[in-house]
Amino acid sequence: MLEEYRNEISELKQNDRHFSRIFEKHNKLDKDVQNAEHGRVGMSDYEIEKMKKEKLLLKDEMHKLILEYKKDGF
């Protein structure tokens, strides 16, 4: 996820509480989706799709925050 911004992600996780929270939430959702898709957790297709959409929204928000961080003088 956003591999090309590894350094910026590391900086933001340390210095921006909001970024850190959405990063952790994204990672948790990713694990939850994987567990559901592999049958380790019972979940409907609707619930899985809902989590995937939330993950995408979080990724978009993180990308936006990374670009703002870079623009403001990284």
The model's pLDDT over 38-57, given as tens digits with 9 standing for 90+, comes to 999 999 999 999 999 999 99
The answer to whether 1 touches 26, Cβ cutoff 8 Å, is yes
Q: For residue 24, how many other CB atoms are within 10 A of its CB?
A: 12
pLDDT per residue over 21-38, tens digit each? 999 999 999 999 999 999
Q: Please tell me the distance from the alpha carbon of residue 7 to that of residue 13, in angstroms, as a whole number.
A: 10
How far is CA 57 from its chain centroid?
Answer: 8
What's the pTM value of the predicted model, to 2 decimals? 0.88
What local confidence, expressed as pLDDT, does residue 41 receive? 92
State residue 74's pLDDT score. Answer: 56
pLDDT at 12 over 80: yes
